Amino acid sequence: MTIKLGVPSKGRLMEKTFDWFGARGVQLSRTGSDREYAGAVEGVDGVELVLLSAGEIPRELAAGRIHLGVTGTDLIREKLGQWEQQVQELAELGFGHADLIIAVPGCWADVDTLDDLDAAAAAFRAEHGFRLRIATKYHRLVREYLMDAGVADYQLVDSQGATEGTIKNLTAEAVADITSTGDTLRANHLKILDDAVVLQSQATLFRSRVAQMTDAERGGMAALLETLGLGG
């Protein structure tokens, strides 16, 4: 019986997560070959490392298949309805900072705010006969944000990657995407709307509210959180 800890399986997010736990006395590491998603935990007993894609961690937490998981706030909020009832935020890890923003072509000299975007969308629809397209993979977050702000005459089109390129490819007029430095946006001749931060995200340790635990696992969880300085 072990506590299952889900951690992103590759890249900087994995390394930074390992560093964060390491600094608190829990050594996480990958074992076996580079291609094998297996890991080891030292410094605390009864904890198993599960390496997953960051995008799958919200679902695994909500299903109770892992007890703890590290992923971005953006993914939790996009993928889980009523997320607060399914997972609990234990700690912000201080890296993986990214904002979900809305960006438009820099050549739209007349558009800098949501108010402008809304007015441009109305004119665009009248001119072209279809709603202004915003490419994103964060459908729920962006829709709720724009609905709340009272923006009309747009439509979301799905883009699971290379979102910044959709405008040049004429498959969207604007994008809603995660950015940390804005470099990719600038390279694609886009500018961020002044007043449209949909969400500020960072890597966060979440606890599943639905995962079952035996008494022994409960003890293991308490010991782990104690070691991490999150007890009490």
Among 10, 12, 97, 128, binds other proteins (CB under 8 A): 128
Q: In the range 20-59, which residues lie near other proteins by CB under 8 A?
A: none
Least distance to other proteins, CB of residue 204, Å: 21
130 or 218, CB closer to other proteins? Answer: 130
Among 29, 194, 218, 229, binds other proteins (CB under 8 A): 194
C-alpha distance from residue 8 to each of 13, 73, 87, 136 (Å): 6, 14, 17, 22
- Report d(CA 66, CA 137) in Å as an integer: 24
C-alpha distance from residue 112 to each of 102, 104, 109, 120, 175 (Å): 10, 9, 8, 11, 14
- Judged by CB under 8 A, does residue 146 bind other proteins? yes
- Judged by CB under 8 A, does residue 108 bind other proteins? yes
Residue 122 Rama label (left phi>0; alpha psi -120 to 50; beta): alpha
Least distance to other proteins, CB of residue 172, Å: 8
| Choices 34-42, 94-102, 136-144, 219-227 (CB under 8 A): range interacting with other proteins | 136-144
- Judged by CB under 8 A, does residue 122 bind other proteins? yes
- Judged by CB under 8 A, does residue 11 bind other proteins? no
- Judged by CB under 8 A, does residue 138 bind other proteins? no
- Report d(CA 128, CA 116) in Å as an integer: 18
- Judged by CB under 8 A, does residue 144 bind other proteins? yes
Q: Which chain residues interact with other proteins by CB under 8 A?
A: 81-82, 105-110, 112-113, 115-116, 118-120, 122-124, 127-128, 131-132, 139-140, 143-144, 146-156, 167-168, 170, 173, 189, 191, 194-195
